[in-house]
C-alpha cells in the first residue's frame, strides 16, 4: 500500500529542489501547472510552486493554497518517476490510501476522482477550514498542533490523560486540548489554542512523570486545528 501524506508532513521546497537537478523538468510539469492555475482560477499558484522564497512560503501557510499544492506534489512526483525512472506507481502497489488531505490524493490515484474535481475539493476544504476559524472564533485565538512522540509502553497512560482532559466539561469548549490523530502507539497528535499548549504539555509531563527520552513534543507547522471539534462544521459544508 502507498500512503499519501497530510498537511504538516510536506515540505514545499521539495518540488523546487527536484527541479534544480534539471531545467527540463519544469517543461515536463508545465502543462500540469497551467491546468492547475486554470482549475484553481489563480495564475500565481504555479509560480509559488516553482519559487522558493518568503512570498511563496507565506502563500502556502494558507490551508486553501497548501492543500492543492500537496495534491499536486504527489502527481508531480509520479510524473518524474514515470519519465525519468520508468517506474509506474500504479503497477507497484495494490492499495492507495491517504491521511487527511492525502485521502483525496488516493481517490485520484484510484481513478475515483479526476484532477479538476480533486483540486477544487481540496481547495474548498481548506477554504472552509479557514472561514470557520475566522468567523466562529475570536481573532486573537491562534491554534497549534503538537506531535507527541512517546514510549509505546506508556501509550495507554498518556491516552487516558488526554482523553480525560478533552472530555472534561469543566473546561470551556474553546479552551480544550483535543486528540487530533493517533498515528501509532508511539505518536499522538494534539491540537488546541496555542497560548494553552505549552502549559498543558508541562502539566502532562509533570503529572505522568514523563522523562525526556520517553516523551518528546514537536510542533506541527500548521495553524488550523485539524481533526478536532473546532472544525466540526466543515463536513456539513463539504
Domains in the chain, start-ordered, CATH in brackets?
2-136 (3.40.366.10), 143-231 (3.30.70.3320)
Cβ neighbours around 196 below 10 Å, total: 16
In which band, very low, low, confident or very high, does the pLDDT at 160 lie, cut at 50, 70 and 90?
A: very high
Instruction: Kindly list the distances between the CA atom of residue 64 and the CA atoms of 12, 45, 181, in Å, as whole numbers in the listed order.
Output: 14, 11, 21
- Whole-prediction pTM value? 0.85
* pLDDT (average), residues 100-105: 94
Residue 50 scores a pLDDT above 90: no
Instruction: Output the pLDDT for position 57.
Output: 82
Phi first, then psi: give them for residue 138, nearest 5 degrees: -55, 140
Q: What percent of the chain has pLDDT over 90?
A: 58
In which band, very low, low, confident or very high, does the pLDDT at 212 lie, cut at 50, 70 and 90?
A: confident
Residue 237 scores a pLDDT above 80: no
Distance CA 228, CA 235 (A): 12
Q: Can you name the residues that pair with 219 across neighbouring β-strands?
A: 146
Instruction: Output the pLDDT for position 10.
Output: 66
Amino acid at each position: 500500500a502507498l500512503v499519501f501524506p497530510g498537511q504538516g508532513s510536506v515540505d514545499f521546497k521539495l518540488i523546487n529542489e527536484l527541479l534544480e537537478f534539471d531545467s527540463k523538468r519544469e517543461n515536463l510539469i508545465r502543462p500540469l501547472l497551467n491546468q492547475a492555475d486554470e482549475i484553481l482560477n489563480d495564475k500565481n499558484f504555479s509560480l509559488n510552486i516553482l519559487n522558493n522564497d518568503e512570498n511563496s512560503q507565506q502563500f502556502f501557510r494558507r490551508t486553501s493554497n497548501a492543500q492543492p499544492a500537496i495534491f499536486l506534489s504527489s502527481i508531480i512526483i509520479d510524473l518524474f518517476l514515470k519519465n525519468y525512472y520508468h517506474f509506474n506507481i500504479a503497477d507497484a502497489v495494490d492499495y492507495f490510501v491517504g491521511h487527511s488531505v492525502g485521502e483525496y490524493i488516493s481517490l485520484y490515484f484510484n481513478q475515483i476522482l479526476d484532477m479538476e474535481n480533486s483540486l477544487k475539493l481540496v481547495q474548498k476544504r481548506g477554504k472552509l477550514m479557514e472561514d470557520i476559524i475566522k468567523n466562529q472564533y475570536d481573532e486573537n485565538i491562534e491554534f497549534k498542533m503538537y506531535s507527541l512522540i512517546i514510549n509505546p509502553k506508556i501509550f495507554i497512560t498518556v491516552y487516558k490523560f488526554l482523553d480525560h482532559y478533552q472530555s472534561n466539561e469543566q473546561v470551556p469548549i474553546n479552551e480544550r486540548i483535543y486528540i487530533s490523530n493517533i498515528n501509532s502507539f508511539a505518536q499522538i497528535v494534539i491540537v488546541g489554542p496555542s497560548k494553552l499548549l505549552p502549559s498543558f504539555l508541562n502539566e502532562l509531563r509533570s503529572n505522568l512523570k514523563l522523562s525526556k527520552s520517553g516523551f518528546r513534543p514537536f510542533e506541527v507547522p500548521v495553524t488550523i486545528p485539524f481533526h478536532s471539534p473546532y472544525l466540526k462544521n466543515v463536513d456539513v459544508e463539504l
